[in-house]
């Protein structure tokens, strides 16, 4: 019998207060720059400053490392509310979580103390290096290598599609240490931007999330201290998969946020716009579109929070629930933002309104951290096991 997807969760007064605080910051400090950030393909420095000042840039890091120690739902709320006005900016807290979760899950206490406080304080950001050009969905086929050399590890290879590369100081990187063992021969490492033999490539030119730089990472005899391996050699791929169980709901939260932003814009526009002597919002066809958009967003939000809570509990069905939350919410985001553009008519196709940017930004949520086709395979494998 299929288990209860994610199980119960409860929103607290603290969650409500976090939402209120983040929404105020997002509307005051982030939204005014969102169109400019997109048009200029520049990093949202204003968002980073505002989120860091308020302690919302990495809420998931524990108090032992100078962080807030917020639960997964709180982190999802932060990401959701930022994504409501600018998806690019929401990748600041989202990728700080993605990059640091492998360290939180598997690193030595010494390595945690070395890396996590700088992220918690906002002095540094961290990115996540798993994918390669020929190892995306088939991540275990990676070619980046790491070999032990005395009291160092030496990395050689290239990582692709790395979010916030060039802005981050730290990078969690997966590399093959024992090619004979397949996925069990992959290890995880922490690389610093200043390590010899490390470099980043030029920024990719993308359809959306233009404010979040995406670059390749280059390792050419990149030498790091031996104690920067995360966990035991050979455990890296397992750590990567466990990390995705925890972080996929944050992509769902991003998707819910951009969908909510598009719905809010569509409601306001259709109430204001007049056709045939009436407000467009008075037409039943429009009302049904808005109602469908709202229903899908509500369902996606609940699934995302249930998956986040399942991750915090270490629930046995967390892999399936996290995959479902990510896939469902991102499909909803694409449907809702597309419908929002439609409701704006010709105006929705122009950059005078935010919905065309939201539609472009929403697309990536169906692709990164595992395509939605991969999520469906993960769900089916869990059901059929």
CA–CA distance, 73 with 76 (Å, rounded to integer): 5
Answer whether residue 326 shows pLDDT above 90. Answer: yes
Are 199 and 251 in the same domain?
Answer: no
Q: Contact at 8 Å (CB) between 82 and 93?
A: yes
Average pLDDT, integer, range 19-23:
98
Are 244 and 218 in the same domain?
Answer: no
**Confidence tier at 137 by pLDDT (50, 70, 90):** confident
Q: Could you tell me if residue 4 is inside a domain? A: no
What is the overall mean pLDDT for the chain? 96
Per-residue pLDDT of 271-299, as tens digits, reads 999 999 999 999 999 999 999 999 999 99
Answer whether residue 250 shows pLDDT above 80. Answer: yes
Sole residue written with tokens 């031996």: 226
Cα 380 to chain centroid, rounded: 23
Report the domain count for the chain: 3
pLDDT at 140: 85
* Nearest one of 292, 289, 291, 378 to 327, comparing CA atoms: 378
Residue 116 is part of a domain; what is its CATH number? 1.10.540.10
Answer whether residue 171 shows pLDDT above 80. Answer: yes
Taking the alpha carbons at both ends of the chain, their separation in whole angstroms is: 12
Answer whether residue 4 shows pLDDT above 70. Answer: no
Sole residue written with tokens 């490539």: 201
Average pLDDT, integer, range 237-262:
97
Answer whether residue 2 shows pLDDT above 70. Answer: no
What percentage of the chain carries pLDDT values higher than 90? 96
Which of 214, 233, 252 is the C-terminal boundary of a domain? 233
Are 140 and 117 in the same domain?
Answer: no
pLDDT at 3: 53
SS3 128: strand
Domain hosting residue 188, numbered range:
126-233
CA–CA distance, 40 with 113 (Å, rounded to integer): 37
Are 279 and 252 in the same domain?
Answer: yes
Q: Could you tell me if residue 88 is inside a domain? A: yes
CA–CA distance, 332 with 278 (Å, rounded to integer): 29
Q: Strand 170-176 vs strand 126-129: parallel, antiparallel, or unpaired?
A: parallel
What percentage of the chain carries pLDDT values higher than 70? 98
**Confidence tier at 1 by pLDDT (50, 70, 90):** very low
CA–CA distance, 260 with 262 (Å, rounded to integer): 5
209-218: buried (b, 16+ CB within 10 Å) or exposed (e) per residue?
Answer: bbbbbbbbbb
Are 97 and 161 in the same domain?
Answer: no
CA–CA distance, 151 with 82 (Å, rounded to integer): 42
Residue 267 is part of a domain; what is its CATH number? 1.20.140.10
CA–CA distance, 33 with 251 (Å, rounded to integer): 22
Q: Contact at 8 Å (CB) between 249 and 322?
A: yes
Are 260 and 353 in the same domain?
Answer: yes
Per-residue pLDDT of 89-123, as tens digits, reads 999 999 999 999 999 999 999 999 999 999 999 99
**Confidence tier at 136 by pLDDT (50, 70, 90):** confident
Which of 233, 260, 285 is the C-terminal boundary of a domain? 233
Per-residue pLDDT of 212-221, as tens digits, reads 999 999 999 9
pLDDT at 7: 73
Q: Contact at 8 Å (CB) between 253 and 72?
A: no
- Is there a catalytic annotation at residue 369? yes
CA–CA distance, 187 with 153 (Å, rounded to integer): 11
CA–CA distance, 28 with 84 (Å, rounded to integer): 13
Are 89 and 47 in the same domain?
Answer: yes
| Long-range pairs of 371-377 with CB within 8 A, sequence gap ≥ 24 | 371/137, 372/326, 372/327, 372/330, 372/331, 373/137, 374/137, 375/248, 375/323, 375/324, 375/326, 375/327, 376/323, 376/327
Q: Could you tell me if residue 1 is inside a domain? A: no
Are 135 and 222 in the same domain?
Answer: yes
* Nearest one of 107, 15, 4 to 65, comparing CA atoms: 107
Length of the chain in terms of residues written: 385
pLDDT at 349: 97
Per-residue pLDDT of 42-80, as tens digits, reads 999 999 999 999 999 999 999 999 999 999 999 999 999
């Amino acid at each position: 019998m299929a288990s209860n997807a994610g199980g119960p969760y409860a929103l607290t007064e603290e969650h409500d207060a976090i939402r209120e605080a983040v929404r105020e910051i997002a509307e005051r400090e982030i939204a005014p720059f969102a169109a400019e950030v997109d048009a200029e393909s520049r990093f949202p420095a204003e968002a980073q400053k505002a989120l860091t000042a308020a302690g919302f840039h990495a809420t998931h890091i524990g108090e032992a490392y100078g962080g807030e120690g917020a639960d997964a739902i709180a982190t999802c709320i932060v990401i959701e509310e930022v994504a409501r006005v600018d998806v690019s900016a929401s990748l600041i807290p989202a990728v700080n979580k993605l990059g640091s979760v492998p360290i939180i899950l598997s690193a030595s206490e010494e390595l945690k103390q070395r890396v996590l406080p700088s992220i918690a304080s906002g002095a540094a950001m961290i990115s996540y290096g798993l994918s390669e050009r020929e190892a995306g969905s088939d991540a275990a086929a990676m070619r980046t290598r790491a070999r032990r050399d005395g009291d160092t590890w030496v990395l050689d290879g290239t990582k692709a599609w790395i979010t916030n590369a060039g802005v981050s100081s730290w990078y969690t990187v997966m590399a093959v240490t024992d090619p004979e063992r397949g996925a069990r021969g992959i290890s995880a490492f922490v690389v610093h931007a200043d390590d010899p033999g490390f470099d980043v490539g030029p920024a990719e030119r993308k359809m959306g999330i233009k404010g979040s730089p995406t670059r390749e990472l280059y390792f050419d005899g990149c030498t790091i201290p031996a104690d920067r391996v995360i966990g035991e050699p050979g455990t890296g791929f397992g750590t990567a998969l466990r990390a995705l169980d925890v972080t996929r709901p944050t992509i769902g939260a991003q998707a819910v946020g951009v969908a909510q932003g598009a719905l809010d814009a569509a409601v306001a526009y259709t109430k204001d716009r007049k056709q045939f002597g009436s407000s467009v919002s008075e037409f039943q066809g429009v009302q049904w579109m808005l109602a469908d958009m709202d229903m899908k967003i509500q369902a996606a939000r609940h699934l995302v929070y249930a998956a986040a809570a399942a991750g915090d509990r270490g629930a046995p069905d967390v892999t399936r629930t996290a995959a479902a939350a990510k896939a469902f919410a991102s499909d909803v985001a694409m449907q809702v933002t597309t419908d929002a553009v439609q409701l704006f008519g010709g105006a929705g196709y122009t950059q005078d309104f935010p919905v065309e940017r939201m539609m472009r930004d929403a697309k990536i949520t169906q692709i990164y951290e595992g395509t939605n086709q991969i999520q469906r395979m993960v769900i089916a494998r869990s059901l059929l096991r």
